[in-house]
């Protein structure tokens, strides 16, 4: 099992505490002694490894972790940063092709290949246009 660096773990705990107490991401990080960008501080708050596993001991309890995530999502929704992608059309990729018989033969193999490739038609091109 890994050993926790208590000094660094205390900084992580303080970040969570500062954020839950009402500070924004950057001020919460700065008050904890961390110089982080907004995104980095947010990723720390979402890092489930702080909850521990079979090898790493937990340094944040589940209640604290969940509370920080609840606040983070609430603030993101209030700022319009959470959007659901409803009604997004599914991408249709060509999955079937057809090719008529090759009727012209060229001596140059590159010309022959270009001609043969020009005959290939995607049968999926009509899908989604109905």
Is 89 among the domain residues?
A: no
Cβ atoms of 46 and 65 closer than 8 Å? no
pLDDT tens digits along 15-61 = 999 999 999 999 999 999 999 999 999 999 999 999 999 888 999 99
Question: 69 and 120 share a domain?
Answer: no
The parent domain of residue 108 ranges over 97-126
pLDDT at 6: 95
Question: 12 and 39 share a domain?
Answer: yes
Question: 64 and 17 share a domain?
Answer: yes
- Kindly report whether the global pTM for this prediction surpasses the value 0.85: no
Q: What mean pLDDT is reported for the chain? A: 87
Cβ atoms of 16 and 68 closer than 8 Å? yes
- 58 burial class (0-12, 13-18, 19+ CB within 10 angstroms)? middle
Report which secondary-structure segment, H or E, holds 121: strand 121-122
Is 92 among the domain residues?
A: no
Q: Is 130's pLDDT higher than 60?
A: no
Is 12 among the domain residues?
A: yes
């Amino acid at each position: 099992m890994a050993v926790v660096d208590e000094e660094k773990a205390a900084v992580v705990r303080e970040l969570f505490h500062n954020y839950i107490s009402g500070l924004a991401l950057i001020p919460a990080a700065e008050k904890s002694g961390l110089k982080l960008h907004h995104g980095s501080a947010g990723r720390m708050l979402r890092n489930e490894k702080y909850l521990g596993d079979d090898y790493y001991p937990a340094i944040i309890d589940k209640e604290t972790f969940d509370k920080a995530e609840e606040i983070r999502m609430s603030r993101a929704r209030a700022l319009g940063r959470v959007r659901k992608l409803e009604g997004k059309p599914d991408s249709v990729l060509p999955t079937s092709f057809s090719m008529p018989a090759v009727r012209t033969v060229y001596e140059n193999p590159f010309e022959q290949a270009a001609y043969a490739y020009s005959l290939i038609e995607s049968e999926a091109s009509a899908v989604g246009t109905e």
